[in-house]
Amino acid sequence: MNPPKVSGKVNPKTAANALKSASSLRPKLAIILGSGFISVTNEVSSDREIPYQKLAGFMAPSVAGHAGVAIIGRLFDTDILILNGRTHYYEGHSLAQITHPIRVIAEYGIEDLILTNAAGGINRKYKPGDFMLFKDHMNFMGDNPLRGPSIPRRDRFTDLTQTYDPAIAKQIKAAGRKIKTKLHCGTYCAVSGPSYETPAEINAYRKLGADAIGMSTVPEAIVARQCGIRVAAISCITNEAADSNNYPLSHNDVLESGLLAAKTSSKLLGEFTRNYVQG
């Protein structure tokens, strides 16, 4: 039987109910793991792991480094939902499709969301292995996840004057200080990809005020805000963004840098969760 539809899309309540039946835990905190952050799954005491294929409307990621599993469990005494892996716009899906998991977790009861990703450093002070907490973003994807029919109970003209929650950001900064890791705070520029940028584009984005660049996260943050979820986002800087004096960029190099930063990212998310106070 086909799942019920909302505005022509799969109803997020279907997968939310599947998550509720999978475990009696009721986390308020969720983390979406991008490249460079998956090691934290080793620290989670998992109650249930549900492959994305079993969650209505979720798509299995087709990119190396993205597992496609939802984990409901506990991390340092905090109930948590971890979405290990995401699908990207560049895989050919619509922004509505790739942000469906956000609508699901909102229905499930998540109130605070940490988004993570790998990004290229545009700010010349950022080096591979550093981390950046989002202060703000620029959406250069050429599309918006809220485009389309208006959704009942949701504000189509969602306010983004403060997309990233200052109280959660404060807690992440404290965790960064505690584990003594370089945690910058800057503006993330989202592009559609999948090609990397030209040096001319990076130069232009730098002039506009971007500090890091990547191909994800912003659509999820926009939908999360529309759903009233508090959001924070962290990039693992895996490479210096394209530069005419630079070496060619490759996805494998990005993944490799992500692996090198894995221990630190796991400590950062662990330390944050250990002291997490709901906003």
Query: Can you give the binding site for ligand HPA, defined by CB under 6 A?
Result: 118-120, 196-197, 213-215, 238-239, 241, 249, 254
In single-letter form, the type of residue at position 272 comes to F
Tokens 């959406």: give the residue. 139
Q: How far is the CB of 186 from ligand HPA (least distance, A)?
A: 14
In single-letter form, the type of residue at position 65 comes to G
- Give the active site residue among 43, 49, 67, 91: 91
- Give the active site residue among 18, 23, 30, 35: 35
Element (H, E) at 178: helix 166-178
Concerning whether 257 is annotated as a catalytic residue, the answer is no
Concerning whether 91 is annotated as a catalytic residue, the answer is yes
Concerning whether 93 is annotated as a catalytic residue, the answer is no
Concerning whether 24 is annotated as a catalytic residue, the answer is no
CA count, 13 A, side-chain hemisphere, 120: 29
Q: How far is the CB of 238 from ligand HPA (least distance, A)?
A: 5
Nearer to ligand HPA, 78 or 192 (CB): 192
Concerning whether 239 is annotated as a catalytic residue, the answer is yes
Concerning whether 266 is annotated as a catalytic residue, the answer is no
Nearer to ligand HPA, 239 or 273 (CB): 239
- Give the active site residue among 43, 46, 201, 251: 251
Tokens of 188: 């993330």
Report the C-alpha gap between 230 and 149 in whole angstroms. Answer: 24
Q: What angle separates helix 251-260 from helix 262-274, to the nearest 10 degrees?
A: 50
Report the C-alpha gap between 42 and 29 in whole angstroms. Answer: 18
Nearer to ligand HPA, 234 or 254 (CB): 254
Q: How far is the CB of 125 from ligand HPA (least distance, A)?
A: 16
Tokens 């620029």: give the residue. 138
Active site residues: 35, 66, 88, 90-91, 118, 215-216, 239, 251
